[in-house]
Amino acid sequence: MKRTVLALALSLGLVFGVAFADYHASMPATVVDIATSSEDFSILVQAVVTADLAGALSGEGPFTVFAPTNDAFVAALEALGITAEELLASPDLGAILTYHVVAGKLMAADVLAAIEAGGGSVMVETLNGASITVEVVDGNVVIDGTATVTVVDLEAGNGVVHVIDAVILPPSN
């Protein structure tokens, strides 16, 4: 009986160990890898490369990235009355992009816990140095009152990506 229990325990440990290893082997190495693996982020990737942030965001981290989709960038460009080329040439590009990044790995559960602890909203400092406001509005997590989180917890070895439906802009100085 003891041998059977021991064999079962070892078998389960091996199965779960292999499953855990497979999951981590397939996990993207970096938050940049997540963005480059989807055409939905091609404008974001182009901006990150142009701003020379790909190397930093491929570093050890951990990072939490609130990643706007191509549709979000198109809407922002239209609202700002500029072209993608003008955005990419903007001296503010790095500041805009780092406003979408937080130091640390903040999973959705962590964000929701912080919002609850904050009484309905929480201020989170970005790598830009300015803080974003994160709150729950009509059951959705919203950043700075404009960007809704649409996909959560895309994990990478150096952090996590949450997809948002709008580009958030840092406060003007």
| Residue 116: inside a domain | yes
The pLDDT tens digits for 136-164 are 999 999 999 999 999 999 999 999 999 99
Tell me whether residue 90 is in a domain.
yes
Q: How many CB atoms lie within 10 A of CB 160?
A: 24
**pLDDT value of position 167:** 97
Q: Check if the beta carbon of residue 126 is closer than 8 Å to that of residue 98.
A: yes
Confirm whether 7 is domain-assigned.
no
- Alpha carbon dihedral 45, 77, 142, 124, in 10-degree steps, equals 60
42 falls within a domain: yes
Residue 3 maps to a domain: no
pLDDT, tens digit (0-9, with 9 covering 90-100), for 37-66:
999 999 999 999 999 999 999 999 999 999
Q: pTM, whole model, 2 decimals?
A: 0.84
Q: Which residues of 115-137 are buried (b: 16+ CB within 10 A; e: fewer)?
A: beeeeeebebebbbeebbebbee
CATH for 150:
2.30.180.10
Q: What is the mean pLDDT of residues 87-104?
A: 96
Task: Specify the residue for token string 């930093």.
Answer: 56
Q: Is 22 part of a structural domain of the chain?
A: no
Q: What is the pLDDT of residues 16-40, one digit of tens each?
A: 343 333 444 578 889 999 999 999 9
Q: Domain count of the chain?
A: 1
Domain that holds residue 120: 28-164
Can you tell me the distance from the alpha carbon of 147 to that of 45, in angstroms, rounded to the nearest whole number?
A: 19
Is 135 inside any structural domain? yes
Residue 75 lies in a domain: yes
